[in-house]
Amino acid sequence: MTSIEATTISGTVRGTVEGGVARFLGIPYAAAPFGEHRFRPTQPHPGWSGVRDALQLGATAPAGPYPPVFRDVLPEPVIPGDEILTVNVWAPADASGAPVMVFIHGGAFVNGSNAVPVYDGTAFARDGIVLVSVNYRLGAEGFLKLPGGPANLGILDQVAALTWVRDNIAAFGGDPGRVTVFGESAGAMSVGTLLAMPAAEGLFQRAILQSGAAHNAYSVETAEKIATLVAAQVGLAPAELGQVPPERLVRAHTELLKELRARPDPVKFGEAAAGALVYVPIVDGESLPGRPIDRIAAGSATDVEVLIGTTRDEVHLFTVAGGMTEFVTDAAMTGFVGMLGLPDGAVDRYRAGRPGGAPWEVLSDVMTDQMFRIPAIRLAEAHGRAWVYEFDWPAQGLDGRLGACHAVELPFVFDTLAAAEAMNGPDAPQELADTVHGAWVAFASGRDPGWARYGDARTVRTFGAATETADDPRGATRELWAGVR
């Protein structure tokens, strides 16, 4: 292992080179968002003199722990410190003008970081890509709108990180004109939001959305309801929330989320009652002029190539790891489907797609479509030229009951299977990782990923025990959502 230096607009950083891959960790792209910068739009980093070591992962944003079972399959490092707005960079040691990929992590806008081992970018650098992973403000710090204050601070952090890439990535061997932004779950919803934000225009040319689309955004009215509820949790007025320590706001979110999921009252929670997320981007009319899916349909992402998809059994992660399977009766499943406004016969169509499936499995299929697959299809339809995929290899964790659940594709995308044994088991197929990772590399390099776009034929590439392409898979259930979602 040898050292290597790169000069950014803030100062020079020192990284390491091993096996032909240069690695720089914990580079600040903005000032620490605390003290005078707390609840303010992203501020420039003051810079440094001399050479700054970029040898260790940066601090992680304040966040609460995942539930115990989730922690078993989705380990989440916690690194203390205030300087949380950092990027990690992996690059071919001799890169010049290489394509760039910028990864935005998931975690329901309240968890996650770029320190998760699965997100190691070595394999992308090995294959000619400069990989950048981003930390941004989470929870209240990034998505709570204080009275009279700005909205979408966490998304503005992401815009600042993309601006940092534009201004600095050439120093690491990347081409600022060949940037692909990609994310999973809340990270994909962030990408959907960036596709609709004027401030992000021109900062990337391609986008990949994994298990998230462009439907998750709240009105200012809902944001105000959330601020009032958070304030009630801590016994203050909404205007005083900026005085509350971040750790207390994390606890307030945790308490509020329990109430939201137990009693999702739309009068109390507004749009959050249907989404089961306390924090999402806000349509404030300024940083985000309209709902992302509507902005995309109106042409905001016309110049960006898009790849989008989901896993086959997204919601299995929450039903199985959340211990819900034994509580879902046939009556409960049928009742839930009835509340969604789907046409008569919907339950029978879903049962036909899951022969012999337990009620919780049928319900999981319906919720997967409601929360993930149909929004992804709507984005592909709105964009008009997207490629669509589905990941259908079943995770082996939790006795194999997870199926092709939410987040299962991540170690295949990053080619980091060894870091995900808790979810995927020790024998996850390397050949599938080669295929999926290779498709992402091809797309980021300016080529098509290996199959036809999602047009009139509704072509979808399935990655699973076999990799194959089909037109309009599960079209019978897709049709149920016309005019509903």
Q: Write out the catalytic residue numbers.
A: 185, 314, 406
Find all residues with CB under 8 Å of 111, minimum gap 6, and list them: 63, 64, 66, 76, 138
Whether the CB-CB separation of 181 and 104 falls below 8 Å is answered with: yes
Query: Which helix or strand (DSSP H or E) is residue 175 part of?
Result: strand 174-184
Question: What CA–CA distance (Å, rounded) separates 411 from 210?
Answer: 12
Say how far apart CA 210 and CA 126 lie, in whole Å: 22
Q: Which residues of 148-159 are buried (b: 16+ CB within 10 A; e: fewer)?
A: ebebbbbbbbbb
Q: What angle do CA 471, 472, 478 make, to 5 degrees?
A: 175
Are 87 and 27 in contact by the 8 Å Cβ rule? The answer is yes
**Which among 125, 146, 158, 115 is positioned nearest to 21, based on CA atoms?**
125
Contact in structure between 209 and 376 (CB atoms under 8 Å): yes
